[in-house]
Amino acid sequence: EDQVTQSPEALRLQEGESSSLNCSYTVSGLRGLFWYRQDPGKGPEFLFTLYSAGEEKEKERLKATLTKKESFLHITAPKPEDSATYLCAVQSTGANSKLTFGKGITLSVRP
Amino acid sequence: KAGVTQTPRYLIKTRGQQVTLSCSPISGHRSVSWYQQTPGQGLQFLFEYFSETQRNKGNFPGRFSGRQFSNSRSEMNVSTLELGDSALYLCASSLQGPYNEQFFGPGTRLTVL
């Protein structure tokens, strides 16, 4: 069974203080790893898809990286508007595989 | 272009009742997926419909069912509600399926008393 563990559960940063969010996963074979952002009272918003180890993607202050066992979401010089819950999900290569989400990391950035 | 819409936004039901939730995907999207989100379990996949056919189903009891219409709009039904069904139910649409970029709606907050 696919498993996704995100850590830490919550993270508080000062504005400008860079950090990384971790997503560890266990799958028989990885078809894709996804990062989403969720603001309170809203549905998740797609950020990135990573497909193979070594792949990296960037968007503004966010950079996602992937290894064979985990993914990191690096946040460089965060701003208060980056405060949200960040969700990681994986899909395995098995037939009829489903998206399995982690429980999320709640990021709070103080001005 | 208009995003994914879900109705109603809030629902309060009592145990034993049934409920139907509605989702209108982004125009042109043929895949609609449903998720349950709770503080304890996080976001869990319920099922996915593509062109009116259920393509995939999560590990939920048969009380949870869904369907998709020819215009890609989808409904989800929960029968014989239990207290543990209280959750945020999210609908997501995409062009090909949940392994592509998905666009989520704002969700329906269901409270079972």
pLDDT band at A84 (very low <50, low <70, confident <90, very high): very high
Q: With CA atoms as reference, report the closest residue to A38 among B97, B42, B99, B9.
A: B42
Contact yes or no for A98 and B56 at CB 8 A? yes
Q: Which residues of A touch B42 (CB under 8 A)?
A: 87, 101-104
Three-state SS string over A28-61 comes to: CCEEEEEEEEECCCCCCEEEEEECCCCCEEEECC
Give pLDDT, residue B27. 94
pLDDT confidence of residue A36: 97
Q: What are the tens digits of pLDDT across the range A36-80?
A: 999 998 999 999 999 999 999 999 999 999 999 999 999 999 999
Which among B90, B56, B49, B101 is positioned nearest to A32, based on CA atoms? B101
Q: What are phi and psi of B50, to 5 degrees?
A: -140, 120
Which mean pLDDT values do the consecutive 10-residue runs of chain B (113 residues) have? 92 98 96 94 94 92 97 97 97 85 94 98
Q: Which pLDDT band, with edges at 50, 70 and 90, does A11 fall under?
A: very high
Å between B25 CA and nearest CA of chain A:
13
Nearest-by-Cβ selection for B42 from A32, A41, A103: A103
* pLDDT number for residue B96: 80
Put simply, whether A27 touches B (Cβ < 8 Å) is no
What 3-state DSSP class applies to A94? coil
B104·A100 Cβ contact <8 A: no
Distance separating alpha carbons of residues A87 and B12, to the nearest angstrom: 27
